[in-house]
Amino acid sequence: MDGQYVQRGVSLIEVLVAVFVFAFGLVGLAGMMVMSARSNQSAYLRTQVAFLANNMADRMRANPIGVWSGNYNSDAYPIGTGATSCDTRTPCAPAAVATRDQVLWSRLLDSQLPGASARIQCRGMGSLSYNPSAQIGMRPPYGGHCTMTVSWIEQKAGDHQNADAAGQTFAWVFQP
């Protein structure tokens, strides 16, 4: 009879070891889920940045005179003020279209990225000697290049206090 009680105790120890191994595996799985959530959020924000950068580049391509005139150049995006009343019923000059584009793009920056700021600088406008007033109906290739820099704050998963938030930057040199 004594052997029977010893066997029952060994079974209990085996069950406790199995529960410990299972619990350790669950802790590892929880860590992987946190890493997955952090990576997914980071990928989402980077996708938004690429979308926003292409959005502004498309706006600039649609207004070449505004680009050539330097109307999109700014170190202070997002811009909070400006007229946004240009549309198909109320056409505007290229400078007003650029202001409208800046304001609308700034709203997108504010709504899509936490702690967003941006900078756009276009240089080399005179390399093709384009005269907007004389050649307004033509669209020659743009001779310069633009540099767009978008910065945002990327929080780590579970960080609600911004204690471990990291600043991220996307830089792009393109020709509108």
Give me the residue spans of the domains in the chain. 2-174
Among 69-83, 101-115, 149-163, the range scoring the smallest mean pLDDT is 149-163
If DSSP codes are grouped into helix, strand and coil, which group holds residue 158?
A: coil
Amino acid at 45: L
pLDDT one-digit tens code per residue, 30-48:
888 887 777 788 889 999 9
Read off the DSSP letter of residue 138. Answer: -
Cα separation, 57 vs 68, in Å, equals: 14
User: Does residue 88 have a pLDDT over 90?
Assistant: no
- 163: Cα separation from own chain's centroid: 20
Cα separation, 114 vs 92, in Å, equals: 32
How much of the chain exceeds pLDDT 70, in percent?
A: 77
Q: What is the mean pLDDT of residues 67-80?
A: 88
- Rg of the chain, C-alpha, whole Å: 28
pLDDT: which is higher, 85 or 167: 167
Contacts of residue 111, defined as CB under 8 A and 6 or more positions apart, other chains included, come to none
pLDDT one-digit tens code per residue, 122-175:
987 655 555 555 555 555 555 678 999 999 998 765 555 555 678 899 999 998
User: Does residue 50 have a pLDDT over 90?
Assistant: yes
Beta-strand relationship, 166-174 and 145-154 = antiparallel
| Nearest C-alpha neighbor of 81 from the set 95, 98, 100 | 100
Q: What is the pTM of this model?
A: 0.71
Q: How confident is the model at residue 176 (pLDDT cuts 50, 70, 90)?
A: confident
pLDDT: which is higher, 78 or 144: 78
Segment holding 74, helix H or strand E: strand 74-77
Q: How many CB atoms lie within 10 A of CB 152?
A: 23
